[in-house]
Amino acid sequence: MTIEEVQQEIIEEFSVYEDWMDKYSYLIELGNELEDLPPKEKNDQNLIKGCQSRVWLVAEKKDDKIEYDVCVYGGTSAGVIAAYKASNMGKKVLLIEPSKHLGGMTASGLGMTDIGDKNAICGVTLDFYKRIARHYGEDDKKLRFEPHVAENIFNEMVNEAGFDTILYHRVIEVNKEGKTIRSIVLENALYPGT
């Protein structure tokens, strides 16, 4: 089962509950079905920081590795578009972004595109601007927009293409053979060292 299929299954399970309290109760039920965490696993490394309750999470990799054809580091506009295009070309893609938002400056406040010739915009970038225009009920590409609209469209493109995305993580180690990346090590960008 792929990550996307597991995510979709979880979303479907929770979608039957409309009230947040029902979702919370269901989550507690699922937790009660789990085996108790061994005391040695209840350590600072496994503690979820920011939770009001003390919650520990222990993840284990069941397969030896996950392989990708393309790994894009940085969820900027260019990063999302590169990952989207590679995925649509049939490549297995991973997009890693150290923050919680995709779209870089386009989705973080730069809501006006300064360009001399609108006809210079083409390819996936043109598709992005046409989606912006459709959001505002216009037919042509739109070069002025609200940042949250851009972020929503980038997230829509990620969902359509179906590639894996990891937020809140940064690369801390790259292992190569010649020019080929063989593996990477990620770190939680919010809590380095955990």
CA atoms of 132 and 130, how far apart (whole Å):
5
**Among this protein's residues, is 71 annotated catalytic?**
no
Q: Which two tokens stand for residue 38?
A: 């061994």
Nearest of 74, 167, 84 to residue 125 by alpha carbon: 84
Q: Which of 10, 37, 48, 51 is catalytic?
A: 51
CA atoms of 185 and 7, how far apart (whole Å):
23
Amino acid at 9: E
Catalogue the active-site residues: 51
